[in-house]
């Protein structure tokens, strides 16, 4: 058991859309490494694709965004706020992610302001790169929604 909080303690996301199962490294306000364990029982595998289940790339990018959110929301400056996607740049997919695999999600925050931020992320399986992307997000007050 790690000394890090469960992702649900920092992110407002809940199953089935909480895609980070555990935090394995965390430097508040700087970076986060999280894991997403894919059992194969997830509903999206049934339709993506029948006979050849593959994790949708958009969900990999969302998992990276959630990991960046963990890095941001773990800092006092952004605690209790809500990071919302502002953009995705340079997303590249290098390998398929299959049922039963665990995805290692690494996100590093870049330039941050009180209202917005940037992050880079990499997702891998057994140290083999599956996806990398640059992300932008707006930082909203949770009560503004």
pLDDT, tens only, 109-145: 999 998 999 999 999 999 999 999 999 999 998 875 5
Q: Mark the ranges of the chain whose per-residue pLDDT is less than 50.
A: none
48 is catalytic: yes
127 DSSP assignment: T
| 7-144: CATH topology | Thiol Ester Dehydrase; Chain A (3.10.129)
pTM above 0.85, yes or no: yes
- Nearest CA to 71 out of 102, 101, 112 is that of 112
Residues contacting 88, CB < 8 A, separation 6+: 61, 133, 134, 135, 136
Q: Is 41 helix (H, G, I), strand (E, B) or coil?
A: coil
> Which residue out of 6, 13, 37, 48 is catalytically annotated?
48
Q: Is 57 helix (H, G, I), strand (E, B) or coil?
A: helix
Identify the pLDDT of residue 143: 72
């Amino acid at each position: 058991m790690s000394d890090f909080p469960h992702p649900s303690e920092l992110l407002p996301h809940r199953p089935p859309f909480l895609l980070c199962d555990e935090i394995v490294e965390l430097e508040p306000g700087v970076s986060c490494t999280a894991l997403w364990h894919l059992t194969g029982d997830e509903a999206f595998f049934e339709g993506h694709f029948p006979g050849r289940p593959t994790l949708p790339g958009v969900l990999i990018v969302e998992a990276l965004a959630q990991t960046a959110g963990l890095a941001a929301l773990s800092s006092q400056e952004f605690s209790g706020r809500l990071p919302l996607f502002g953009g995705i740049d340079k997303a590249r997919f290098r390998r398929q992610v299959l049922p039963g695999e665990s995805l290692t999600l690494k996100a590093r925050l870049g330039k941050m302001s009180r209202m917005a931020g940037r992050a880079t992320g990499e997702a891998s399986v057994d140290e083999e790169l599956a996806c990398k992307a640059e992300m932008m997000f707006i930082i909203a007050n949770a009560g503004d929604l």
